[in-house]
A and B are shown apart, each in its own frame.
Chain A
Amino acid sequence: MVEAATGPVADPARGARPIDRIGLAMRASHLLALLLLAGCLVFALVAWRTGDVFYLRLATEALIFAGLALSVDILLGYTGLLSLGQALYFGLGAYMSAVLLRSGWSFAGVMAAVLLGATVVSFLGGLIVSRVRGVYFALITFGMAQVAAKAVYNTRELGASDGLIGVPIVKIALGFTTVSSDSPIGFFLFVLGFMVLLYLALSYLLDTPFGRILIAIRSNERRVPFLGYQPQRARLCAYVAAGIVAALSGALYPMLRGFVSPELMSFTTSGNAVITVVTGGAGTLVGALYGSVILTALRSVIGSWTSHHLIVIGLIFMAVVIFFPRGLIGVIRARLESWLVRRRTR
């Protein structure tokens, strides 16, 4: 879906030495990520100087949902699996975080617990879903998320349909400084750093041989066993990694907004994450980050302007799918790649 050629390709200008297309694409992604980081820092500086609160919190929310989009990209962009229920893990992280923070846990304790919980739950879920592919994978992930959302919706201890409010403001000790989750600029920078780390960790993971197996599964799963790998096991690992990323991002949500509600687990949340990845560019990682920032900004602006904002967002999504099937960043990244090749061969 993304790169035409996925294996090493002979470069005529350099004789026999091949160009690593996948490594090149990753370098292009890194450049775009650096650009996004710079943009975020400039934005933070401007917002801080003007004493803004709303746009900083909105941007923080965009970054948190970017984490969910990253997790969808691992499955959709790299492994070729459409998950329609990734909000299950986002919601799991959010609810665990809300419940534990309300009982007075520290930030580090909460994140460790979410990491552990997400690993266990996504492993169990992965045992089920890694057995199937294609439309069955989409349906089972969708079904599991709906079951979880309904269960939460009817559990009075978790606030039922009203959700949980009263999540306290949390202090995050970073060693050199302490960030309070109610400081708009402080928490924005913290979440930005957190997402950069998640991005780096994922791009490292997907650059290892394991990542190459996922790409091979996406390209042609039947041939993978002939190379000596088990696709099912690789799919399970990808699913667990995606679950952990979604849950860790979700854990940040109640720190920002002070509440959780069953809507965070709903199909709307899962569906938005898929739209974000497709708009930004599946299989680019950085496209998920850009997609989330762009769509959150658009939703906020158009939503204040007309109550028909869903139609506008839908039309934009359709236009992107028709005219830029690789997504906005997918198109830009392809240009960047050929520029990198030209620079190398010059």
Chain B
Amino acid sequence: MTRITTTTLALLASVALAPLALAQQGPIKIGVNTPLSGTYAPIGQQVRWGLELAAKDVNAAGGIAGRQVQLIFEDEEANPAVAVQKADKLFQVDKVDFMTGTVNSGSTLAVGQIAERAGKLVATTVSFADSITGDRCSPNVFRVNARAEQQSSALAAWLTKEKPNPKVYFLGPDYEMGRSTVAAFQAGIKARGGSVLGEVFAPLDSKDYSQYFGQIRAARPQVLYTSVAGNDTVRLLTQMQEFGLLSNLQVVGASGTLTSQNIGAIGSAADNFATGVGYSPQIDTPENKAFVSKFQAAYKADPDLYGADSYGLVFFYKAAVEKAGSTETDKVREAMRGLEWDTPQGRKTMRAGDHQALQTMYVVRVEKQKFNIVGQVPATEAVGPDLCTKF
């Protein structure tokens, strides 16, 4: 009798569990909602390369908890209105388990809200607005890359070590983001004993910066901080060189100020420029060297921070799903909080309080058109307090 009952139960159980077991056999789907066209397409390209390389590596090693990883791409055009529509499609039609890829902060915030309503998790590997893991944090949003504050604090920490009590002048682009980056670096410098000599904001796309040089020279700063970007950086630095302002002045800036895209046009005026970043292909560890050579072999290009952070994300998700033993939102979220995982950038920790990844930060300085690592700032020193109060 008992045996019959047991057999029946076992039969029933196998019938009941069969669809579940089948579902577990299918691939794990990760939606990639990233700009594939338009101004931000080069960033979306790095995101795509990083994720594809990681998916290939993970699948070759047996997948996530034995299931293969499948990436589904959608073009969000760096427009939040398109991003939410695509997010809706990925969640509702493609039924992805997890989503990433958004680049501009507006898209990340808007998509995070869609994820909240759909009961799914998303992560960004690019957006660096502090608010995403600050006052606008969401229980369903994680960030594996360094936020603006980490870049800025790392630079401030390195700068005050190199030049104790520095006297700093600020030149920012005159719009909301420019003003907030300048304010953040001023706070970082003041907290570490430096002093602010003055600040000036130039309109975006200024052709002539020489009108500000008089006041900069009169203030006699040791350091100039700037957060202009793109062609504005080209004009600012070359004009400063022509006016002889660059001698005896350390120029530092935001991570987007000087990039591989505009450094060529700046030439020797870019020398000595320093900034704080979360990744550089020059990081001297075996893991990073292996990653860089694999990336170059696959795509004939160097990975940048977006490619590296995106590569690391797949391993973050893998670690979380395997720890949770499931792809259910609540279980994976619990597993992600406080998770430590290895990336080409070194070990990262996901802070439970605000879903911001903590990582070692680097300071790079330009020498002969190359970004050389000149300093490292430990994770805990670069990140500010947890300001998220929503969960």
Contact = CB atoms under 8 A, between A and B. Distances in A.
Interface of A: 52-54, 57-58, 61, 153-156, 160-163, 165-166, 182, 257-259, 261-264, 268, 300, 303-304, 307-310
B177 A160 contact: yes
Given A57-B88, A163-B80, A259-B80, A308 B37 contact: yes
B88 A261 contact: no
A179 B123 CA distance: 32
A166 to B, nearest CB: 7
B283 interface: no
28 contacts: A53-B88, A57-B88, A58-B85, A58-B88, A61-B85, A154-B175, A160-B176, A161-B104, A161-B105, A162-B105, A162-B129, A162-B131, A163-B106, A165-B109, A165-B110, A257-B81, A257-B114, A258-B110, A258-B117, A259-B110, A261-B79, A261-B80, A261-B110, A263-B81, A304-B86, A307-B36, A309-B37, A309-B75
A259 B117 contact: no
B74 interface: yes
A134 to B, nearest CB: 29
A58 B74 CA distance: 15
Interface string B272-306: 00000000000000000000000000000000000
Contacts of A154: 175-176
A258 B114 contact: yes
B220 interface: no
Contacts of A53: 88, 92
Contacts of A153: 175-176
Nearest to A304: B74
A181 to B, nearest CB: 11
A22 B72 CA distance: 50
Nearest to A261: B80
Given A57-B85, A166-B136, 12 more contacts: A58-B85, A154-B175, A160-B177, A161-B104, A162-B109, A163-B109, A166-B113, A257-B81, A261-B80, A268-B79, A307-B37, A308-B37
Interface in B69-94: 74-75, 79-82, 84-86, 88-89, 91-93
B293 to A, nearest CB: 28
A310 B41 CA distance: 13
A54 B88 contact: yes
Contact of B81 (A58, A261, A310): A261
A104 B74 CA distance: 34
User: Taking each of B36, B85, B105, B112, which has the highest tally of chain A beta carbons within 10 Å of its own beta carbon?
Assistant: B85
A280 B91 CA distance: 31
A165 B113 contact: yes
A304 B110 CA distance: 20
A182 B117 contact: yes
Contacts of A162: 105-106, 109, 129, 131
Given A57-B88, A307-B37, A309-B37, A258 B113 contact: yes
B106 A261 contact: yes
A304 B84 CA distance: 14
A262 B107 CA distance: 11
A307 B81 CA distance: 17
A319 B92 CA distance: 33
A265 to B, nearest CB: 11
